[in-house]
Structures are given as structure tokens and as C-alpha cells.
A and B are shown apart, each in its own frame.
Chain A
């Protein structure tokens, strides 16, 4: 692996950039792997990287039906934060935040983790109560999060409208300063390059059609468009397509897949310094390093795999942005797109072992999986390597839907991820 640095960039610049090598090879499948990971998004590639780096398991393939990073990794609005209410969630996302903090150096790939602060707006008394509950819980969990008055919120994000005449006036905000954004493609590419350098095969454009189990019920491999691939262990990290893949192993999942849309504006000079989320009016916005306003929408009401989404939801999303930031009505939408998000009944992830021996799953991130990428990948690798839960992912079991020990952040707070 060519080391990336200012020096190597300069050296290559002087030689017409002829010296750069491919960042990862386009692998063809071998007959057998110790671990096959289904889904080459940030989560799957990350798990492969940590398997190789921290557990010495390098005979690993990451298989994707399309190109790597082409699913939700490359389609989300890249919000990273960890100010979740419940201990379980806070620990998982804060673990991810710790990994984010050092990820560029770890991977020798600048993922541009930008700690610009995520501010969540309170528009009514229940919002205020909920945010205060979060802030207190976060403080005792060692997670940064603080309350801002509406004037402080405006000072932190000048385009914000804090007029009391607004339809949903801003009453204040919760700010996590350590939170922010990252460059989504770079996360997938960085993990791919680092994993490949340690021997992981990345196999693109190879749909997995089924998970195969042996006579004892344990996983023996996967059927793919390029034939059967034997595997001692299989980890499914396929977001919206997880339930279809798991079905083939006979495991029915508490998942539903919904369209999620996002959009960007034309690029403008820096105007928006942070990330702002408003769950009450459904507005999620930041400004990319290119200058585009990056705006997230809610999910459409029906399940779908179409990656399409309708116009009315987009109209409401843009209206919500203009409600909170009235200076943006003359900005123009450049592009909108859709992803498929897999949602569990309690809107928290399922991360770890399954009833099938040798089969592991990482799914159910709903609209908030990007921020968890390093944390989910890191703990999943642990679980796959040791065949036991990591202390951090242990609560995120499939069994909780039987016993009732749900991790329902949304019900607790009416807070979307």
C-alpha cells in the first residue's frame, strides 16, 4: 500500500501522478474463506478491516451486488453524533466517535471527520424536556451535549430563524460539539484500501443469492452470481437488503425497508457552520466542503426497494428547511436521491450473533447507520472472531424482540436518528 501523505502527493505531482497504484484490487472469489461478509458498505468493509487487523483473520471476502460503498454509505447525509439517551446506544455511538476521531490516521485515508457540532432544535415544551433528559444522561455517561438558549443557538448558526412568530418557534437547542460530518465515500474507500492491504478480497458486482447451511444447521457458505463460495462464517451487513439475504438462511428478521430521500443545493460560499437537526419540523441540514447544503428527508410511508421516493415528501422537507432558515428560499435544489433503509421495531440496530451457527448480522440502522460505521464494524469483527458478543454490542440482540428489552430511542424521545 502506497503511504498517502503530503510528501507522496508532492512527489507524484512532480511525476505527473503516474506513480499511484490502485487503492484496492478487483478480486475474483476464491473457493473458500474463513469469513464472508455480505455487503461492501462502510460497515462490511470496516468489519473486514478489523478482522484482519485486530484478530489476524485475513482470509476474508467482502461481497457486494454492486460497487463498494454504493448503498447507504454513499447516499446518506453523513451526520455523526453520539448524544443518544440510553446507555446502550450512547456507548455504541460514543465508541464509534472515538474511532472516528482517529480514523484518517488509522486508515491513512483522509475521511474528513469534521467536528463542526450537531445542534438539535427544540420547538416545543416536550422537545425541551426530552433534550434536557438527553443532556443529563449524556453528562453522566461522559458524552458531550449541552443546552443552548435560542440566542446562543442563533449565534452558533447565524442563518437560524428564532423569531417567536415562526410556526414552530425555536425554544433552544442541544449541541454536541464533538459531533459533525465525514466524507462518506472516503470511509468506504479508506476501509477498502486498508482491508485489501491486509489481504481481504473485495468482490464487487457479485450478488449473493443465498446463504447455504450444512446438515448440522451451521453456515457453510454463500451462493453468488459467481458460484458457491465456501465460508466458515458469514456476516450479513446488507442494510435494506438484509432481510432478503437472511431469509435464505431461514432467519426471519424484524425488519422493514423504507425509501429515504436526501438532496443537495447548488454550492455556495460558507454560510452554514454546523449540522442542524429538527425532528419536530423534520429538517436535517449541513453544508458540505464543496459548498452544497446537504439536506435529509424523512422516510416515505411505504416499504420499498425502488430507491425512488415521491415528490410530496421532498416538498415538505424543503419547506421545513425554509421554515427554520428562511434565507434559503432562493437557493436551488441541485440533486435529490433515494436510499433504502432497514428499520427495526425499536429503531435500534441488531448487531451480533443469530440463531444460526456461524451466521452474524449487522442491520437495522434505519436512518442513522453512517455515524455508527467504525463502532459497528469494530464490535462486529470482535463477535465474528470470537463467536461471542462484544460488551458494547451485547444489548443489540435479536432476542430482545422476544423478551421485550427494547432499546427504543425514538419512543423515548420522539427523536429521529
Chain B
């Protein structure tokens, strides 16, 4: 059973309190009617299914009920970070040292 940090409650809690909610950062298009069938398919169905760090959504359903985002390594199932919904997609690339 995973341990998950809720960025709203600021607590690390067992998976039983949470519900997985699919890949993160797939925004619903502002005007779906303007999309081609292929673009709409991509929104509906195409997923990264990353092997490694995966940006995903969870809901603290038996807690504060908030949706939030997480980065989890799907190979080890280890959470790299969690952050609030609406926050930008974090940059996971290694930071270069300042000169």
C-alpha cells in the first residue's frame, strides 16, 4: 500500500484514503467543437503511459476531497512529488549548476 502526501492536508497518508484519477496535465479544450476528430480522440483516449516518472492525478477522496497532481515512478511506484491542481507541470530535468 502506497503512502501519498496530500499537498492540501500537508500529510502523508495511506493509499486507502486516495483515489487514482488518471494522467495529469490533460486540460479539457476550451472549445471542443473547434477540434478535429483526431484531436478530440487524443484528448479523450491517448495517454503517455510512461514507464518511469508519470504525471498523474489523485484525489484525497476520504480526506479533504481535493484533486491534486503527483509525479510517480511507475517502475518503482515511488512518489517523486505531489503538488496542487493547477500548479504548472514541474520540470524534472536535472538542474545545471550555476556558473
Real binding pair: yes
Contact of A241 among B45, B47, B51, B54 (CB under 8 A): B51
- A252 and B76 CA atoms in complex are apart in Å by 23
Chain B residue at minimal CB-CB distance from A242: B49
- A304 and B49 CA atoms in complex are apart in Å by 9
Contact of A402 among B22, B38, B47, B49 (CB under 8 A): B38
Chain B residue at minimal CB-CB distance from A306: B77
- A301 and B41 CA atoms in complex are apart in Å by 23
- A362 and B56 CA atoms in complex are apart in Å by 26
B2 on interface, CB distance cutoff 8 Å: yes
The CB with the most chain A CB atoms within 10 A, among B49, B51, B56, is that of B49
Query: Which bracket fits the contact residues of A?
Result: 20 to 34
User: B56 and A253: CB pair below 8 A?
Assistant: no
A282 on interface, CB distance cutoff 8 Å: no
User: B77 and A304: CB pair below 8 A?
Assistant: yes
Cβ of A303: which chain B residues have Cβ within 8 Å of it?
Answer: 20, 49, 54, 56, 74
A257 on interface, CB distance cutoff 8 Å: yes
User: B49 and A306: CB pair below 8 A?
Assistant: no
Contact of B47 among A255, A306, A403 (CB under 8 A): A255
Known A253-B49, A254-B45: A306·B75 in contact at CB below 8 Å? yes
- A310 and B42 CA atoms in complex are apart in Å by 31
A158 on interface, CB distance cutoff 8 Å: no
A308 on interface, CB distance cutoff 8 Å: yes
User: B49 and A310: CB pair below 8 A?
Assistant: no
Contact of B1 among A254, A256, A312, A344 (CB under 8 A): A312
User: A256 and B47: CB pair below 8 A?
Assistant: yes
Cβ of A402: which chain B residues have Cβ within 8 Å of it?
Answer: 37-38, 41
Known A244-B51, A402-B37: A345·B44 in contact at CB below 8 Å? yes
Contact of B49 among A256, A301, A311, A312 (CB under 8 A): A256
B64 on interface, CB distance cutoff 8 Å: no
Q: Mark A305-330, 1 if CB is under 8 A from B, else 0.
A: 11010111000000000000000000
Contact of A312 among B16, B42, B54 (CB under 8 A): B16
Measured CB to CB, the closest approach of chain B to A404, in angstroms, equals 9
- A304 and B45 CA atoms in complex are apart in Å by 18
User: A305 and B20: CB pair below 8 A?
Assistant: no
Chain B residue at minimal CB-CB distance from A346: B45
CB neighbors of B among A77-118 (8 A): none
User: B49 and A243: CB pair below 8 A?
Assistant: yes
The CB with the most chain B CB atoms within 10 A, among A256, A303, A311, A345, is that of A303
Measured CB to CB, the closest approach of chain B to A349, in angstroms, equals 15
Q: Mark B39-83, 1 if CB is under 8 A from A, else 0.
A: 001101111010100101000000000000000101111000000
User: B56 and A254: CB pair below 8 A?
Assistant: no
A337 on interface, CB distance cutoff 8 Å: no
Q: Mark A244-277, 1 if CB is under 8 A from B, else 0.
A: 1000000011111100000000000000000000
A20 on interface, CB distance cutoff 8 Å: no
- Chain B positions near chain A (C-beta within 8 angstroms): 1-2, 15-16, 19-20, 22-23, 37-38, 41-42, 44-47, 49, 51, 54, 56, 72, 74-77
- Some 11 contacts from A to B, beta carbons below 8 A apart, are A241-B51, A244-B51, A253-B46, A256-B49, A302-B20, A303-B56, A310-B1, A344-B45, A401-B45, A402-B37, A403-B37
